Amino acid sequence: MASAAEQLAANINLSVFSKATELKRRIWFTMAALVVFRAGTFITLPGIDPAVMADIVKTQSHGVLGLFDVFAGGALRRMSVFALAIMPYISASIIIQLISAVNPALDQMKKEGITGRIKMNQYTRYLTVAITALQALGIASGLESATGHSGVSAVMNPGLFFKFTTVVTLVGGTMFMVWLGEQINERGIGQGISLLIFAGIVAGLPGAIANTLELGRTGAMSPFVILFLLVGAVVVIAFIVFIEQAQRRILVQYPKRQQGNKVFGGESSHLPLKINTSGVIPPIFASSLLLMPLTIAGFQSKGSGEGILNTIGVLLGRGQPLYLFLYSVLITFFSFFYTAVVFNPSETAENLRKYGGFVPGIRPGKNTAEHLDYVLTRLTVIGAAYLIIVCLIPEFLISRMSAPFYFGGTSLLIVVNVAMSTMQQIQAHLLAHQYEGLLKKSQLRGRR
C-alpha cells in the first residue's frame, strides 16, 4: 500500500514537472551557468606554466592551498582566471555587514527595502574589486618567486607586465563569477554564490574518490581506513540533514475579535526557529578569513623556505591546534553574528504585537522580544557546537589519515545544505505551478 502511494505521488510530481515550463527553463539556465563556470576554471592565466603550478599546489595539497583549491573547483591548481573564485566577494560581504552593525548610516540603509539592498550590494561589489586587486597583486608577486621541485619558475616572463595582466585577469574573473551568481539568483534556481561553491566541490568529488580507492589498491591507505571515511561521511550527512531540519516551534496565539456578526481570529500558529539559523555561512566565512592572509603566504614560503610566512603556514596547517582553535572561534562568532543579522527578536515581537499575536504566558512587546532572544541564544549555542563538531572533527581526522579534503566537514556541510536548499526551491516552484493549474481550472468552471 505504501509503495503504491509513493509511486502515485512520484508520477504526479513527474506530471507536474513536465508541465512546469518556467521551472525547466530556470534549471536549464542554472546548468548552463555552471558549465560556463567549470569551463572558466580551465582557462590558465597568461604567462603561467601549468605543470609547474600544479606541482606547487600538489606539494601543499594538505595545506591551505588544497582547501582553497577545493572551493575554487581546481581553478587554483591550474591557476585559471577563476583562481580566486568567489572568496573575495564573501570577504567583502563580511566586512560590509560588520561595518553596518556599527555604522548607523549603513544600518539605516539596510532598512530601506529594495533601494537599500541595491546600494549595499553596490558597495559590496566595489569592496570586492579592491580586495581582489590586493590579493591578485600578492599572488602575482608570489608566483614570480615560486618554483617547482625541479627549480623551474612558475612564471615564464616575470615583470611589471605580468603583474598587471594577472591583476586585471583575476579581478575580471572574480567579478564575472559574482555576476554569474546574481544571474542564477534572478533567472535560475537556487542561491547563485552557494551553487558556484557547490559546483566547485562536487566537480572534484569523483577524482577524490578514485584517488582514495587507488591508495587502497596500492596499499598506501588501509581498506579499513577508507571504509571508515566513507561510513563517517554517510553518518555526517545524516547528522547534517537531521539538524538542518530541526526546529524549535514557539506557540503564537491570536485573540478572537468580532466584526458585526462574524468572529475572526482565535487560532494559534507556530513561530519556527531553526537550530542552525545561520546555515552554511559561518564555515564559509571562517574559511575565507583564514585563507585570505595565508594564500600569499603559501606561495612565498615555498620560494623562501623560511621566515615568518613559513612559520605562519606551519602553525595554521590543517589539524594544528592554532588552526582548530581559530576555526572554532570564527565559526562561533559568525554563528551569533549572522543569526543576529537575519533574525531580529525586537522586530519580530513588534510585528506579532501589531497583528495581535502573543506568546502564551509572555507579555507582548519587550517581554516577548527578550523571550525570543533567550530561546534564540540557546539555539545558536547548540547550532555553533553542531557546526564545530561537523567541521573540526573531520579536519582532525583528515590531518591524521591524509584523506582528501572532499571528505571534510565543511565541504559536506556546504554540499548538503546547498542541495537541500535547491531541492526546496524546486518543490516550491512545483507547488506554485500546481496551484496555478488549480486556479485556472476553477476559473474555467466558474465561467461555465
- Cα-based distances in Å from 295 to 64, 66, 139, 330: 7, 10, 8, 18
> Is 1 within the bounds of a domain?
no
Q: What is the reported pLDDT for 66?
A: 60
What's the rounded Cα separation, in Å, for the pair 201 and 38? 11
> Is 159 within the bounds of a domain?
yes
Percent of the chain with pLDDT over 70: 75
Q: What is the reported pLDDT for 410?
A: 74
DSSP state letter for 338: H
CATH label of the domain that carries residue 126: 1.10.3370.10
Answer yes or no: are the C-beta atoms of 425 and 412 closer than 8 Å.
no
Query: Integer distance in angstroms from the first to the last C-alpha of the chain?
Result: 38
DSSP state letter for 45: P
> Is 7 within the bounds of a domain?
no
Task: Please give the grid coordinates belonging to residue 394.
Answer: 573531520
> Is 12 within the bounds of a domain?
no
Q: What is the reported pLDDT for 32?
A: 93
Beta bridge partners of 257: 264
The residue type found at 39 is A
Q: What's the pLDDT band for 297 if we cut at 50, 70, 90?
A: low
Q: What is the reported pLDDT for 2?
A: 44
Q: Which domain holds residue 42?
A: 18-447
Helix/strand/coil for 144: helix
Task: Please give the grid coordinates belonging to residue 448.
Answer: 461555465
Read off the pLDDT of residues 391-435 as tens digits, 9 standing for 90 and up: 887 777 666 666 655 556 677 888 888 888 888 888 887 777 676
Q: What's the pLDDT band for 8 if we cut at 50, 70, 90?
A: very low
Helix/strand/coil for 146: coil
User: What average pLDDT does the segment 31-60 reach?
Assistant: 80
> CA 390, 393, 397: angle at the middle one, nearest 5?
135
Which residues touch 399 (CB under 8 Å, ≥6 apart)? 62, 317, 318, 319, 320
Q: Where are the beta strands (DSSP E) in 188-292?
A: 247-253, 256-259, 262-265, 268-274
Tell me the range of 15-24, 74-83, 125-134, 190-199 where mean pLDDT is highest: 125-134
Tell me the range of 204-208, 237-241, 254-258, 280-284 where mean pLDDT is highest: 237-241
Q: What's the pLDDT band for 5 if we cut at 50, 70, 90?
A: very low
> From the CB of residue 355, how many other CB atoms can be counted at a distance below 10 Å?
10
> Higher model confidence: residue 133 or residue 20?
133
Which residues touch 281 (CB under 8 Å, ≥6 apart)? 334, 338
How far is CA 152 from its chain centroid?
36
Read off the pLDDT of residues 171-218 as tens digits, 9 standing for 90 and up: 999 999 999 999 998 888 888 888 888 888 888 777 777 877 887 788
The residue with cell 555553533 is: 384
Q: What is the reported pLDDT for 378?
A: 92
The residue with cell 571515511 is: 229
Determine how β-strand 247-253 pairs with β-strand 268-274: antiparallel
Q: What is the reported pLDDT for 79?
A: 81
> Is 9 within the bounds of a domain?
no
> Is 266 within the bounds of a domain?
yes
Query: How many domains are there within the chain?
Result: 1
Q: Could you tell me the pTM of the whole model?
A: 0.77
Q: What is the reported pLDDT for 74?
A: 72
> Is 406 within the bounds of a domain?
yes
> CA 318, 155, 179: angle at the middle one, nearest 5?
70
Find the range with the poorest average confidence among 4-13, 94-103, 259-268, 314-323: 4-13
pLDDT surpasses 90 at 306? no
> Is 383 within the bounds of a domain?
yes
> Higher model confidence: residue 269 or residue 260?
269
Answer yes or no: are the C-beta atoms of 278 and 334 closer than 8 Å.
yes
Answer yes or no: are the C-beta atoms of 327 and 391 closer than 8 Å.
yes
Helix/strand/coil for 199: helix
Q: DSSP per residue over 49-97, as a string?
A: -HHHHHHHHHHTTTSHHHHHHHHTTTTTTTTBTTTTTTHHHHHHHHHHH
pLDDT surpasses 70 at 313? no
What's the rounded Cα separation, in Å, for the pair 266 and 254? 5
Q: What's the pLDDT band for 98 if we cut at 50, 70, 90?
A: confident
> From the CB of residue 3, how many other CB atoms can be counted at a distance below 10 Å?
7
Q: What is the reported pLDDT for 382?
A: 93
> From the CB of residue 51, how many other CB atoms can be counted at a distance below 10 Å?
11
Q: What is the reported pLDDT for 9?
A: 47
